[in-house]
């Protein structure tokens, strides 16, 4: 089993409703008044997701004052990877003292398929009208924290200024999403 072709630049964001680690449901449509929304796939067990983790949270904090909304989603099959179970997600957020945005669990993997998410991390940036403006990696190198998720920041700056990002598409780099059999 694998994902689908998903959405392309300019496409509308697929709607979803998923639970955060505290059980509260979050919808993408809740971002009606946000000038930009970032949806990214991550998980607990993947070294790429862990390497980019702090950088993504830094961007979430840095752009919160400009109204940008962030939603992280874990779609991995928790039977194959218990480290990515909802309970493990909850424990991780607690140990880390809270996250700057919701950490949602996509148990059916329907949301990952609708977006065409492939890896962790895999970043999608939507404008205020819910159209996809950037999709790909946070920056060029998981091993270089000094890059500060620059590709994501470039995309957000463009969207917030009403421009098209210069680099709308990069290849996501990371662990494959662990699909159910």
Partner 1 sequence: MPPQVELLWWEGCPSWQQALEMLRDEAAGVGLAADAIDVIEITSEADAAGRGFPGSPTIRVDGEDIQPPGPDEPGGLTCRVYRRRDGSVSPLPDREDLREALQRAVREEAVG
| Residue 173 is a binding residue for partner 1 (CB under 8 A) | yes
> Containing H/E element for 141?
none
Residue of 12, 64, 83, 140 interacting with partner 1 (CB under 8 A):
83
Sign of the alpha-carbon torsion through 160, 163, 166, 171: positive
From 30, 34, 62, 81, residue interacting with partner 1 (rule: CB under 8 A): 81
Does position 142 bind partner 1 by CB under 8 A? yes
Q: Whole-angstrom Cα distance, residue 35 to residue 74?
A: 24
Task: Decide: is 92 part of the binding site for partner 1 (CB under 8 A).
Answer: no
The number of beta carbons lying within 10 Å of the beta carbon of residue 95 is: 8
Pairing label, strands 175-176, 119-120: antiparallel
**Shortest distance, position 98 Cβ to partner 1, whole Å:** 20
Q: Catalog residues that contact partner 1 under the rule CB under 8 A.
A: 45-48, 50-51, 80-83, 142-143, 145, 173-176
């Amino acid at each position: 089993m694998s994902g689908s072709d998903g959405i392309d630049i300019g496409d509308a964001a697929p709607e979803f409703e998923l639970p955060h680690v505290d059980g509260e449901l979050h919808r993408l449509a809740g971002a009606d008044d946000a000038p930009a929304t970032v949806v990214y796939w991550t998980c607990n067990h993947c070294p790429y997701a862990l390497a980019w983790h702090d950088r993504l949270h830094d961007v979430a904090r840095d752009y919160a004052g400009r109204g940008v909304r962030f939603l992280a989603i874990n779609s991995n099959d928790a039977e194959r990877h218990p480290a990515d179970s909802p309970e493990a997600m909850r424990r991780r957020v607690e140990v880390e003292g809270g996250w700057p945005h919701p950490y949602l669990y996509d148990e059916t993997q329907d949301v990952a398929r609708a977006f065409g998410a492939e890896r962790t991390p895999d970043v999608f940036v939507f404008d205020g009208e819910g159209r996809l403006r950037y999709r790909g990696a946070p920056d060029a190198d998981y091993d270089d924290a000094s890059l500060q998720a620059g590709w994501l920041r470039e995309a957000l700056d463009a969207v917030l200024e009403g421009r098209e990002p210069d680099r709308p598409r990069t290849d996501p780099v990371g662990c494959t999403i662990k699909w159910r059999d």
